[in-house]
Amino acid sequence: MAASSSTEDLLQELLNVELELQDVQDEIKSLLDKQEKLYERQSELKAVLESYQGLEKDDKDDAAPQAENWSGSFEWDDEANDVRFNIFGIPGYRANQREIINAIMSRRDVLVIMAAGGGKSLCYQLPAVIRHGIALVVSPLLSLIQDQVMGLTALGIPASMLTSTTSKEDEKYIYKALEKGEGDLKVLYVTPEKVSKSKRFVSKLEKCHHAGRLSLIAIDEAHCCSQWGHDFRPDYKNLGILKTQFPDVPLVALTATATKKVQLDLMAMLNIPKCVKFVSTVNRPNLFYMVREKSSIGKVVIDDIAEFIQSSYTNNESGIVYCFSRKECEQVAKELRERGVSADHYHADMDVNLREKVHMRNYHYKAKIDFEFIYALETIKNLIPFDRWSNSKLQVIVGTVAFGMGINKPDVRFVIHHSLGKSMETYYQESGRAGRDGLPSECLLYFRPADVPRQSSMVFYENSGLQNLYDMVRYCQSKRECRRGAFFRHFAEPLQDCNGMCDNCAFSCEVKEIDASGHARAVVSLLQEIQEKDQRATMLQLVDKMKVKNKEVDMHKMILVYTIDLNLKFFIFMPHPQFSFTSSFELKKDELEQLVIQLILHRVLKEEFSHTAYATNAYVTIGPLAKHVLHEKKFIKLEVTSGERSSSGITKSSKRSRYSGLEVKLDNLRKDLSSVHGGIFPHSILSTQQISSLCSQKPETTEQLEMIIGKLKTQKYGDRILEVIGKHEPDEEEARQDSSSDKERQTSVNKSAKRSRNKKVVLIESSEDEE
């Protein structure tokens, strides 16, 4: 008896020791994880500190820094204003543009951080036109270069590109321009590979510089220099030689997003420690951000997307749909077409040769060309979705996220993510392709927890890949917090007002917080059971098993209820053992998925990955904080919404209704002119804003037209524009709008006259944020 009781005691103690050991092992594992993260952060901080120390040293070496006023007046002001308006057709500077131009014109090195669509190109293109000689622009993608060269050529600014696709003849022309100053070349675009790999090119550039003809160097999409950035390009690392070789030539680095770490990295890598820095806000006030729950049924998602496009964008306004894989792109595009949306898929590296040929044809439109060649290319051009989309002949382009930096179209009205992005930074970039012209646009993301493991198995090996993804997941899961606020936090910027431009701020949809701690305990116990049997489960398998388990529990409940009826006295207070793990209510499948994700974000569970010959699979395992849930030290809450949210984001007042008759005519005119003038993009002929100014002001003379679109565009297209406006007869609706906008105009003229009188200033030029 005594022996058996001491055996029992021993067994009990052994069990306790084993449990404690398990605890210790868990803690060691969690501490090791923590140690690894701290090491990682330590090396990041050391790198940043080194750059800081380098910069501080440089600052001390310097004479006392002068207070610089880049918004003051400069000798080139008149010329700059003239070029801006009459060549670029841009009515006023946006925030920081004028200051940046002044700094470059003053021969300073400059770092520009400005949101997508902020107008970075003008900052280096305008000084390139004014300054003597040739400006060198380094840009990472052929397609971006081609678009820029085409845009400048359309404005009559001599621009060329030197890339792997440049013909021998063009190369000769460019080298002569560099070496001997022949021709009228003003802007030369190259890829970073040209600078790092072509000795011949660099030696020609040296000659150009020696003769005092290298006017400035611009590094576009400069974040590609930094390994901490999201599009690191090894060849960008070698661009530091430009400053070493040409120390007296102003160098401007431009990018849409750069965290502090990336900024320091850029300055160090490009050798511009004393540069003037212009950091604009990441805020894109014209973008409406929203997240929708994504159905597990593919067709329902496409129905929803099609409905969104067809109900909100009746004027065929352009949009992008981002998908996870190429196969999904093809499928989504096909299904959208089946629902009557003009859509096609596009793979970024698809038919590179075809794209190049089309651009070559656009680029050479001034040269003598073989008409058959043009005809053939014209046919090819129509076959290429990207070009059809760029020219607004196709409404929606469906691409993977690889289709990103190359998009230069300013009037993209909506960007839809069919599944979540891999980080806040990439989502900001991708969604930021909308509304680069500053007009209201929408960014819609479809989220369902089951998409998370697809992304995590792709990013887990990247530097902080999972951490970045989980930040994105938090953004998607949140049903209360301002979406814009998440971007400010991510880019460490002070909060700004959202002005109701995100779903969480705009719609008062009831969000309930429910205590899901009981369900969390059930999930953890189930996973423990699975792991004890040396098995593992993916997120979906775990959720399915939970559903089965719940059903089993339900069966027990029924038996119990039945028993209660028969033996009321004995069983009425007897709980079923498994009830202790479940709550009084059952979660639906999608709520269970949401719960598992929540548990991963709270480190109660964690993802683990295993490779097969074909794929990497993500499994869910017990995480370092699981114990806290089991011991009821940690409570898990789930946010659930009740009631439907409005189907569209931007309020009706700020959203465009159907285009007016004159707008449609001017839109068609720009499309016509774009094909006549060698395939220049329609938006390079007239921007959407210019079309609305023309419709509201209805110029009748060349002089009046010049005041709206500048001299160059008036010279080129003025007659046709005036003809369309002159012949247009407004319908009743337009006439009514005209008379009300006349009144508004009069009020605003009076107001501005009053403002000028009060301030006693004459406003010749104003930037948008001064307005």
Ligand X SMILES: Nc1ncnc2c1ncn2[C@@H]1O[C@H](COP(=O)(O)OP(=O)(O)OP(=O)(O)O)[C@@H](O)[C@H]1O
Binding site for Mg ion (CB under 5 A): 120
Written as six digits, the tokens of 700 are 């009748």
Q: Is the Cβ of residue 220 or residue 304 nearer to ligand X in the bound state?
A: 220
User: Minimal distance in Å, beta carbon 395 to ligand X?
Assistant: 19
Q: What is the 3-state secondary structure (H, E, C) of 274-334?
A: CCEEEECCCCCCCEEEEEEECCCCHHHHHHHHHHHHHHHCCCCCEEEEEECCHHHHHHHHH
Please give the residues from 385 up to 414 whose contact with ligand X meets the rule CB under 6 A: 410
Rounded CA separation 721/368 (Å): 28
∠ Cα 125 131 135 (to 5°): 55
In the complex, the smallest distance separating the C-beta of residue 460 from ligand X, rounded to whole angstroms, is 29
The label of the residue with tokens 């003053």 reads: 106
Number of residues engaging ligand X in binding (CB under 6 A): 17
| 121 near ligand X, rule: CB under 6 A | yes
Closest separation in Å from C-beta 436 to ligand X:
4
Is 696 strand, coil or helix? Answer: helix
Site residues (CB under 6 A) for ligand X, limited to 55-94: 90, 92-94
Among 436, 479, 483, 627, which residue interacts with ligand X (rule: CB under 6 A)?
A: 436
Question: Least distance (Å) from Mg ion to the CB of residue 255?
Answer: 9
Shortest Å distance, C-beta 114 to Mg ion: 9
Smaller CB separation from ligand X, 112 or 190: 112
Q: Report 250-279 residues binding ligand X (CB under 6 A).
A: 256
Compute the radius of gyration of the chain from its Cα atoms.
Answer: 31
Under rule CB under 6 A, residue 437 binds ligand X: yes
487 binds ligand X (CB under 6 A): no
Say if strands 441-447 and 251-255 run parallel, antiparallel, or are unpaired. Answer: unpaired
And the tokens for 318? 């352009």
Q: Indicate whether 443 belongs to the interface with ligand X (CB under 6 A).
A: no
Q: Which of 103, 105, 116, 208 binds ligand X (CB under 6 A)?
A: 116
Stretch that binds ligand X, among 112-120, 186-194, 496-504, 600-608 (CB under 6 A): 112-120
Kindly state the smallest distance separating residue 115's Cβ from ligand X, in Å: 7
Question: Applying CB under 6 A, does 122 fall inside the site for ligand X?
Answer: yes
Query: Any contact of residue 120 with ligand X (CB under 6 A)?
Result: yes
Smallest gap from Cβ 116 to ligand X, in A, equals 4
Q: Among 539, 499, 504, 503, which residue's Cα sits nearest to residue 523?
A: 539
- Please state, in angstroms and as integers, the Cα–Cα distance from residue 415 to each residue in 4, 130, 432, 489, following that order: 72, 36, 8, 22
Sign of CA dihedral 303, 305, 308, 310: negative
The two three-digit tokens of residue 153, written as one number: 């050529």
By CB under 6 A, what part of segment 444-483 binds ligand X? none
661 binds, options ligand X, Mg ion, none, Cβ within 5 to 8 A by partner type:
none
DSSP-based helix, strand, coil % in the chain, nearest 5: 55, 10, 35
**Torsion 122-401-685-370 (CA) sign:** positive
Give CA–CA dist 598/596, Å, rounded.
Answer: 5
Q: Which residues contact 152 (CB under 8 A, 6 or more apart)?
A: 125, 158, 159, 187
Nearer to ligand X, 151 or 273 (CB): 151
Q: Which of 51, 98, 105, 118 binds ligand X (CB under 6 A)?
A: 118
User: Does the footprint of ligand X cover residue 117 (CB under 6 A)?
Assistant: yes
The entry of Mg ion, ligand X, none near residue 90 (CB within 5 to 8 angstroms by kind) is: ligand X
Rule CB under 6 A: is residue 434 a binding residue for ligand X? Answer: no
Residue number with the smallest Cβ distance to ligand X = 119
Interface with ligand X includes 282 (CB under 6 A)? no
Indicate which of ligand X, Mg ion, none lies near residue 98 (CB less than 5 to 8 Å, by partner kind).
none
C-alpha closest to that of 399 among 461, 318, 338: 318
- The binder of 116, among ligand X, Mg ion, none, by C-beta within 5 to 8 A per type, is ligand X
Q: Catalog residues that contact ligand X under the rule CB under 6 A.
A: 90, 92-94, 97, 114, 116-122, 256, 410, 436-437
